[in-house]
Structure 1
Amino acid sequence: MTAWRDVEQAEPEFAQRVRALFDAHKHKTIATLRADGSPRISGIETVFEDGELGFGSMADARKGADLRRDPRFALHSATVDPVDGAEAQWPGEAKISGRAIAGPVTDGSDSFRADIAEVVHTHLNEQATRLVVEWWTPTNGLRRVERE
């Protein structure tokens, strides 16, 4: 299993940027898979605690049922538009995908922690002329591409 602490240990600066994007706003988006295999997008809150990335689901919510049936997920940080004229200061957006490990039900809510498969930070280069995609996986480490 790959926990958030593993990302922090492998690439501390990259992990700090990704976490800052997730911590910047309360609400994020999660993609899960419905019983028929089609995607479902839901709002969610996340927490980084004790080296783990955790999230929950209200009792009887469809996203919790999705994750218990098929643990694959993709999380997306909140996204804000670059400010005209200050595009180079745009912090970008972050994504984390993997498998949800079910925890105990507390206060009638499901809890999950992430077994991380991939972490992505998409942003602009310093000149704001190219899109930069950086991604980390437990197998291949940190990689980077720039696109026009």
Structure 2
Amino acid sequence: MVTNWTDFQTAEPQFAQAVRRRFEQYKHHVLATIRKDGSPRVTGLEVTFLHGELWLGMMPYSRKAQDLQRDPRFAVQANPGAGDDMRDGDVRVSGRAVEVTDPEVIARFSGEIAPPEPFHLFRVEPTEVVATSIEGEELVVRTWRPGRRGRTIRRGNGDEPAREVS
């Protein structure tokens, strides 16, 4: 099922807003791609939310861009920030990164973001969004996948099983 950021926002508006806020706390995040030999590659990356889409921009001919041109599967993890308290939780978006080559779309993006040029531009088709946080004494995991309702799972300190609450 092909989807975009707007589909996620429509299905889960509060969750989408929280995920976006989490990514916007920091400029740099961590991107995971798949190398030519099938092994994982992890690199730094900036993400952009614009016109109802989540975008990934990259330097020309960078290894991560080449990875995505060959295999569009990816995961991007929000920067965890300083400290180890995970106060703001942990957020990840996985999916497909579709390279955009339409000059009008690139010009529109460049006109609003002014990235260093030239660059590769990829539009995200999310297949899973996950947020993990600590609330009181519970681990809370929220997930969304296209075509499914969002789920929230709460897990206590280990003395009780995890339970789905939505």
Deviations 1:62-99 (A, max 9, x none): 0000000000000000103455xxx7xx1201100000
For 2:127, the aligned partner's letter is: A
Q: Does 1:113 pair with 2:123?
A: yes
Q: Does 1:130 pair with 2:138?
A: yes
Instruction: Please give the alpha-carbon distance, in whole angstroms, between the structure 2 residues aligned to 1:79 and 1:21.
Output: 9
For 1:99, the aligned partner's letter is: R
For 1:142, the aligned partner's letter is: G
Instruction: Please give the alpha-carbon distance, in whole angstroms, between the structure 1 residues aligned to 2:7 and 2:149.
Output: 11
Moved beyond 6 Å, runs of 4+: none
Return the index of the structure with the highest Cα Rg. 2
Q: CA deviation at 1:108?
A: 2.1
Q: How does 1:66-81 map to 2 (within 5 A)?
A: 66-80=67-81, 81=83
Match among 145, 148, 154 for residue 140 of structure 1: 148
Q: How does 1:12-23 map to 2 (within 5 A)?
A: 12-23=13-24
TM-score by length of 1: 0.90
For 1:91, the aligned partner's letter is: D
For 1:69, the aligned partner's letter is: R
Structure 1 residue matching 2:18: 3-state secondary structure: helix
Which residue of structure 1 aligns with residue 93 of structure 2?
96
Q: CA deviation at 1:139?
A: 2.4
Pairwise CA RMSD of aligned residues? Answer: 1.5
For 2:149, the aligned partner's letter is: G
Instruction: Please give the alpha-carbon distance, in whole angstroms, between the structure 1 residues aligned to 2:94 and 2:61.
Output: 23
Instruction: Please give the alpha-carbon distance, in whole angstroms, between the structure 1 residues aligned to 2:100 and 2:146.
Output: 23
Instruction: Please give the alpha-carbon distance, in whole angstroms, between the structure 1 residues aligned to 2:84 and 2:61.
Output: 37
Structure 2 residue matching 1:91: 3-state secondary structure: coil
Quick one: percent identity of the two aligned structures?
41
Deviations 1:7-45 (A, max 9, x none): 111111111110000010000000000000000000000
TM-score by length of 2: 0.80
